A and B are shown apart, each in its own frame.
Chain A
Amino acid sequence: MNKKLSLTPYMFITPAMLVIGVFVLFPIVAVVYYSFTDYDIITKPVWVGLQNYQYLLHDDVFWQALKNSFIYLLATPIVIVLSIILAIMVNRKLPGINLFRGLYYIPAISGSIAVGIIWRWLFDAQGGLLNGVLIWVGLIKEPVQWLAEPGFTLPIAMLLTIWMGVGYYMMVFLAGLQNISEELYDAAQIDGCNSFQKHLHVSLPGLRPQIVVVTVISSLAAIEVYNEIFVLFGQLGGIMNSGVTMVFLLWREAFRLQHAGRAAAVAMVLLVITLAFSIFNLRLLERGSEAE
């Protein structure tokens, strides 16, 4: 009887453990193994020890990708601030406000390929909307080749990330705002707070759990960015590798240059970075909970 009882919990977790084992644990172990091999996906991997890691240490593109990924993190605070402002703006009982909420959310549910094509058209050198407007208002005389200027590569991609993310995170913050008691705002008003001060002293502390969650999600998304770079700048990732991020480098090594072993080494570095980020963010979350 006792034996039967002791098996029951294992039976419940077995299906989940199988799925996690096959789709999470096994791939992680495989990536660790491949990172020590010379592997081109087609033929059998050959053990090369630390060679792939040594290669990365001496590879300029790897360091550029690492730098670009960290620069991309700048998108995180921007997207959070904009999302909170937008959430506060749409958190009103105005006629047609749901329409605005819906409109802001559209980029989040639009396909990245379609969005990329539209954005390429916006920044196109010849016939692009941005150049057209700038020439029309007289700010520039000749079209700027936005998508072929290394200095613009990351800012344009980050702008796209922000544009696509703001609506999604706005919804998270909107839900948080609607959970804050009206009485707190009334009390703040009685204490003499103006609108800005009410949001500073009531809304922001009330949104702390959402801010932590969004920070974790968006910073991990930023460090793992790939789609935006690919759809805007194609397989090269921008002129002179100006848009190559860690995940883009991983793709490039595995599928364009057929060095899956090196790609696995990049993945391992990325794993360490994302783990560090996640632990840091979780600690932050725990501290916040303790403070509350």
Chain B
Amino acid sequence: MRTKLFSLMILASMILAACAPAAVQPTAAPVLPTSAPVVQTVVVQQTQIVKEQVVVTPTPGPNPEAVIPGVEPNAEISLWTFYLSPWFDDYIKSTITRFEQTYPGVKVNWEDHQATFLQDYRNAMAAGTAPDVANLSDTEGWVREFAAKGLLLSMTDNLPKEVIDSYYPGLFNLQLVGGKSYQVPWYQAVAIELINKQVYDKTELKVSDFPKNYDELPALCATIKQKTGTLCDIRLTVTDLLRDMAYQGGVKVMSDDGKSFTFDSPEAVTWLQMYVDMVKKGLVDRTALVTTDDRVGLELFTSGHAAFYQTGPQLIRDVRANNPGLYGYLDIAMLPVGKSGATAPTSMAMSVKADTKFPKASLALAVFFTNAQSQLEFSKLATIFPSTPASYADPFFASTPVAIEEMVRPMAKDLISVQADIMPEIPQPADVNEIVLQAVQSALFNNVPAQQALTDAVQKANALLQ
């Protein structure tokens, strides 16, 4: 009896040891065993030989998605996404489940924040309650805002090289601060020109002849106004006008040493004068031109009063939902190329807060959501495109598009692979942009010559650098 009890205790301790959480071994495969159970004989020394049959699951192979070593055991981390609920609840939840299976013991608490995301995140940072991992926008400059204040964890310093190499370099190196990346790129939107053929066809122009560069836009808008009586639905990025100058006008906005602004060059004046002329000739909808809200232009297009609008194909769902009659008349054209020759990325990112209690688990989650597999699955649900080259190996991206919003899919890899951030790091970006915004508005709407407006703005912006 005593011997049996002793044997049972040894067995129990072995089983307990086997069941204990693998603290820093994130290699357990998520689910199914790959072969039949093995029968093994256990021999207990110093007593009589006891034969026991124990079912042992074969040691799983390394999980390709578990790429971050040393994840903290029993970490509980929080994740905020931006504007994804309720449309993608199932996707987010299933990805979190897969993550928790890949890194056993780690628990993720997810929240989706929408219109107030940025304010919520700022407030949470101030209160010390920011989420460990957050879905920040590269395009809106959120990553740089928080990274510049030392609030985000450097991905360049903390991720293994093979993980960094799994992203397109141009996208991993977005929004650099001090030469380091503070984000891993998540899903991408490929901006396109969405065309309303009901209006556009009245110009007797072909969609295939849509302007290939920005210089041709004024002529197109003049034709549209003359033939259809409608105004062009063009939007400046009023939250980052230097970006528009750089990409569209090929303007060098700062000196190489970063000690002075240079956006009053002839190239900058030419860029601004193009918009001034369009406004003076009454070719553009001025409300849409200088709104901070992308929805203003999209609503104008959706109402059927605009010939074209630059947006992401993922927003075609809004057009279809709000004006189903227009959906059948939609077509797309590629964006005009600016004088820079580069295409601005429209990128969402995942970042980790600098003072997280669980940096490894948080990095693991950021990387997990942005890995090739997770992004491929997301691409199948929404018209977004992965930042990981490996995702495009899936036949899904080679399949023939059916719906209008899918037309970009076969070209997406080529378009995304060449996207790059050509913007230098701007000090006090909000203040500088405000100065540029006032200058641009004074030229557009208050008859101030473009050169004077920009020269005055450069002086004011330079004063901030003193």
* A residues lining the B interface (CB < 8 Å): 40-43, 124-127, 142, 145, 147-148, 150, 234-236, 239-241, 255-258
- The 8 Å CB contact of B441, one of A127, A142, A240, is A240
In the complex, the answer to whether A127 meets B122 with C-beta atoms within 8 Å is no
In the complex, the answer to whether A257 meets B430 with C-beta atoms within 8 Å is yes
- The 8 Å CB contact of A239, one of B146, B282, B445, is B445
Name the CB-closest residue of A to B145. A258
Chain B residues with CB below 8 A from A234, complex form: 291-293, 296
Chain A residues with CB below 8 A from B52, complex form: none
Q: Known contacts being A126-B231, A235-B293, is A145 close to B445, with CB within 8 Å? A: no
10 A-B pairs within 8 Å (CB atoms) are namely A42-B122, A124-B300, A126-B230, A147-B287, A148-B286, A148-B287, A148-B289, A150-B445, A240-B441, A257-B430
Is residue B400 within 8 Å, beta carbon to beta carbon, of the partner chain? no
In the complex, the answer to whether A236 meets B122 with C-beta atoms within 8 Å is no
Knowing that A42-B146, A142-B282, A147-B287 touch, tell me 19 more A-B residue pairs with CB under 8 angstroms.
A41-B122, A41-B123, A41-B126, A43-B149, A124-B287, A145-B285, A145-B287, A148-B287, A148-B289, A234-B291, A235-B292, A235-B293, A236-B238, A236-B290, A236-B291, A236-B292, A239-B445, A241-B438, A256-B430
Chain B residues with CB below 8 A from A41, complex form: 122-123, 126
Name the CB-closest residue of A to B305. A126
In the complex, the answer to whether B125 meets A42 with C-beta atoms within 8 Å is yes
Q: Complex formed: what's the CA distance from A242 to B438 in Å?
A: 12
In the complex, the answer to whether A240 meets B286 with C-beta atoms within 8 Å is no
In the complex, the answer to whether B231 meets A255 with C-beta atoms within 8 Å is no
Those of B403-439 within 8 Å (CB) of chain A: 430-431, 434, 437-438
Residue of B285, B300, B431 with highest tally of chain A CB at under 10 A? B285
Name the CB-closest residue of B to A60. B438
Is residue B306 within 8 Å, beta carbon to beta carbon, of the partner chain? yes
Chain A residues with CB below 8 A from B300, complex form: 124, 126
In the complex, the answer to whether A258 meets B286 with C-beta atoms within 8 Å is no
Chain B residues with CB below 8 A from A239, complex form: 286, 290, 441, 445
How would you classify the secondary structure of chain B's contact residues: helix, strand, loop or mixed?
A: helix
Those of B273-302 within 8 Å (CB) of chain A: 282, 285-287, 289-293, 296, 300
In the complex, the answer to whether B119 meets A255 with C-beta atoms within 8 Å is yes
Is residue B303 within 8 Å, beta carbon to beta carbon, of the partner chain? yes
In the complex, the answer to whether A257 meets B287 with C-beta atoms within 8 Å is no
Q: Complex formed: what's the CA distance from A43 to B125 in Å?
A: 8
Q: Known contacts being A148-B287, A236-B238, A257-B431, is A127 close to B125, with CB within 8 Å? A: no
In the complex, the answer to whether A42 meets B285 with C-beta atoms within 8 Å is no
Chain A residues with CB below 8 A from B149, complex form: 40, 42-43
Q: Complex formed: what's the CA distance from A239 to B444 in Å?
A: 10
Q: Complex formed: what's the CA distance from A43 to B238 in Å?
A: 26
Chain B residues with CB below 8 A from A40, complex form: 149
Q: Complex formed: what's the CA distance from A122 to B123 in Å?
A: 36
Q: Complex formed: what's the CA distance from A241 to B290 in Å?
A: 12
Q: Complex formed: what's the CA distance from A83 to B277 in Å?
A: 46
Chain B residues with CB below 8 A from A241, complex form: 438
In the complex, the answer to whether A257 meets B286 with C-beta atoms within 8 Å is no
Please list the 4 inter-chain residue pairs (A to B) with the smallest Cβ-Cβ separation, ordered nearest first. Answer: A148-B286, A126-B305, A235-B292, A148-B287
In the complex, the answer to whether B430 meets A126 with C-beta atoms within 8 Å is no
Q: Complex formed: what's the CA distance from A147 to B290 in Å?
A: 11
Is residue B220 within 8 Å, beta carbon to beta carbon, of the partner chain? no
Is residue B34 within 8 Å, beta carbon to beta carbon, of the partner chain? no
Chain B residues with CB below 8 A from A235, complex form: 292-293
Q: Complex formed: what's the CA distance from A19 to B122 in Å?
A: 26
Those of B90-111 within 8 Å (CB) of chain A: none
Q: Complex formed: what's the CA distance from A148 to B446 in Å?
A: 12
Chain B residues with CB below 8 A from A145, complex form: 285-287
Q: Complex formed: what's the CA distance from A145 to B232 in Å?
A: 13
Q: Complex formed: what's the CA distance from A124 to B292 in Å?
A: 17
Q: Complex formed: what's the CA distance from A257 to B304 in Å?
A: 35
Q: Known contacts being A126-B306, A234-B291, A235-B293, is A240 close to B446, with CB within 8 Å? A: yes
Is residue B314 within 8 Å, beta carbon to beta carbon, of the partner chain? no
Chain A residues with CB below 8 A from B238, complex form: 236
Chain A residues with CB below 8 A from B151, complex form: 42
In the complex, the answer to whether B434 meets A257 with C-beta atoms within 8 Å is yes
Chain B residues with CB below 8 A from A256, complex form: 430
Q: Complex formed: what's the CA distance from A41 to B122 in Å?
A: 7
Q: Known contacts being A234-B296, A240-B441, A258-B430, is A126 close to B285, with CB within 8 Å? A: yes
Q: Complex formed: what's the CA distance from A125 to B306 in Å?
A: 12
- Shortest B280–chain A CB gap in Å is 13
Q: Complex formed: what's the CA distance from A42 to B282 in Å?
A: 42
Q: Known contacts being A145-B285, A256-B430, A257-B434, is A125 close to B231, with CB within 8 Å? A: yes
Q: Complex formed: what's the CA distance from A142 to B231 in Å?
A: 11
Chain A residues with CB below 8 A from B7, complex form: none
Is residue B237 within 8 Å, beta carbon to beta carbon, of the partner chain? no
Is residue B198 within 8 Å, beta carbon to beta carbon, of the partner chain? no
Chain A residues with CB below 8 A from B441, complex form: 239-240
Name the CB-closest residue of A to B230. A126
Those of B236-269 within 8 Å (CB) of chain A: 238
Chain A residues with CB below 8 A from B125, complex form: 42
Name the CB-closest residue of B to A125. B285
In the complex, the answer to whether B287 meets A240 with C-beta atoms within 8 Å is no
Chain A residues with CB below 8 A from B293, complex form: 234-235
Chain A residues with CB below 8 A from B123, complex form: 41
Is residue B442 within 8 Å, beta carbon to beta carbon, of the partner chain? yes
- Shortest B200–chain A CB gap in Å is 15
